[in-house]
Amino acid sequence: MYIENIKLEGFRNYDKEETEFHKNINIITGENAQGKTNLLESIYFTSFGKSFRAGRDREMIGFGKDYCRVSALYVKDDEKEIEKEKVDIALSKDGRKAAQIDGRNIERISELISDYYSVIFSPEDLKIVKDEPEKRRKFIDGELCQLSFSYFNALTNYKKILSQRNSYLKEDNIDDSLLSVWDESLSEEGSKIIVSRKAFIERLSKISEEIHSNITDGKEKPEIEYDSNIPFSENKDEVKEIFLERLKDSREKDIYNGNTASGPHKDDIEIKIKGKSTRKFASQGQQRTVALSLKLAEIELIKEEKGDYPILLLDDVFSELDEGRQRYLVDYLEMMQVFITAAEIPEKILKTFPESKKIVVKEGKIINY
């Protein structure tokens, strides 16, 4: 799958811009604050229906504009036939969001997620090992949402119920039977999340452990494990029972704290090298290898599930990797459409991509070469 062409209107610092892309390598350079990341964000927006960095959708609308619109022409090429689909997505200042596929309105924006997929890799992701658990959960959730619509639903419901339960816990007079209703639905959605995460992390770790081992010439083999605060089993109903039990046990504490102490919103993944926690002991180089391996494993899993590689967005990350890791990455890039941004890309690296498109971004204008 790749994007052949994109049109931006009122998106961030782009007024009206349009450009064609290469089906494999696209190199986007330009000085600081010219719009490189914004361009990647617009691509991501057409595949996820949201931003990878804006807290609110509205932030993507150009200053002083009433709306923004992005149209991308996706090409799905499965060797038998080539299919082109146009994705249009627009946001207005009053919070409305609408998307169309080939001119047909789609009911829910989240429908985009299962059909068009992209993976963003930015310097933030290089810190995934050291970051707080929330970032690792976000990574897992982002991926699972792309792969499974039922996961997306379970997660959306879980978050909603959790926030309702937490506000209720802060009230003065708490009705036990009402709290039990929240607990029932929280454990129902939560158990779905836990069981899916467990299966997913097992697959992800298998692939990323192998990649990590390859990058380090077999010297390091990490172990990646799901670290859930609810003991899990393969059986969703069992997990639900355990979770429900936990909620009961900690009810008094939860009321006291005005917060829910246990559940998948507290999960983490534990990454170890030679039995030692990478979070505490890994060198920066090791952490980067872990981050790169996880991202590449994510890409492999999408390929396994969807039969096609995602679009890969490398935001300012390529030049952050050392030569060995860059070389490893380059071998991967042949297989998918890639967007690489950097202030500058050394000649030596450019030579490894003889067939590519070079784009320079300047003050919200796209200049093609």
Near ligand ADP by CB under 6 A: residue from 36, 137, 192, 279: 36
How far is 17 from 6, CA to CA, in rounded Å?
A: 8
* 13 scored as a contact of ligand ADP (CB under 6 A): yes
How far is 28 from 206, CA to CA, in rounded Å?
A: 33
10 contact choice in Mg ion, ligand ADP, none (CB below 5 to 8 Å, kind-dependent): none
Near ligand ADP by CB under 6 A: residue from 26, 37, 71, 337: 37
How far is 33 from 21, CA to CA, in rounded Å?
A: 21
Near ligand ADP by CB under 6 A: residue from 1, 3, 21, 35: 35
* 105 scored as a contact of ligand ADP (CB under 6 A): no
Number of residues that bind ligand ADP (CB under 6 A): 14
DSSP code, position 61: B
Shortest distance in whole angstroms from residue 68 CB to ligand ADP: 8
Near ligand ADP by CB under 6 A: residue from 1, 2, 12, 339: 12
- Of the two residues 122 and 187, which places its CB atom closer to ligand ADP in the complex? 122
| Residue the block writes with tokens 């980067």 | 288
How far is 350 from 342, CA to CA, in rounded Å?
A: 12
Element (H, E) at 356: strand 356-362
* Strand-pair partners of 270: 225
CB-based burial, 153-164: b 16+ in 10 Å, e otherwise: ebbebbeebbee
* 122 scored as a contact of ligand ADP (CB under 6 A): no
* 344 scored as a contact of ligand ADP (CB under 6 A): no
Rg (CA), the chain: 22
Shortest distance in whole angstroms from residue 333 CB to Mg ion: 19
How far is 185 from 281, CA to CA, in rounded Å?
A: 39
367 contact choice in Mg ion, ligand ADP, none (CB below 5 to 8 Å, kind-dependent): none
**Residues forming the site for Mg ion (CB under 5 A):** 36-37
Sort strands 338-342 and 311-315 into parallel, antiparallel or unpaired: parallel
* 38 scored as a contact of ligand ADP (CB under 6 A): yes
Task: For residue 248, report the phi and psi dihedrals to the nearest 5 degrees.
Answer: -65, -50
34 contact choice in Mg ion, ligand ADP, none (CB below 5 to 8 Å, kind-dependent): ligand ADP
C-beta of residue 365 within 8 angstroms of C-beta of residue 17 = yes
Q: What angle do CA 71, 75, 80 make, to 5 degrees?
A: 160
Shortest distance in whole angstroms from residue 339 CB to ligand ADP: 12
295 contact choice in ligand ADP, Mg ion, none (CB below 5 to 8 Å, kind-dependent): none
Show contacts with ligand ADP in window 43-72 (CB under 6 A): 59, 61-63
**Which stretches of the chain bind ligand ADP, using CB under 6 A?**
12-13, 30, 32-38, 59, 61-63
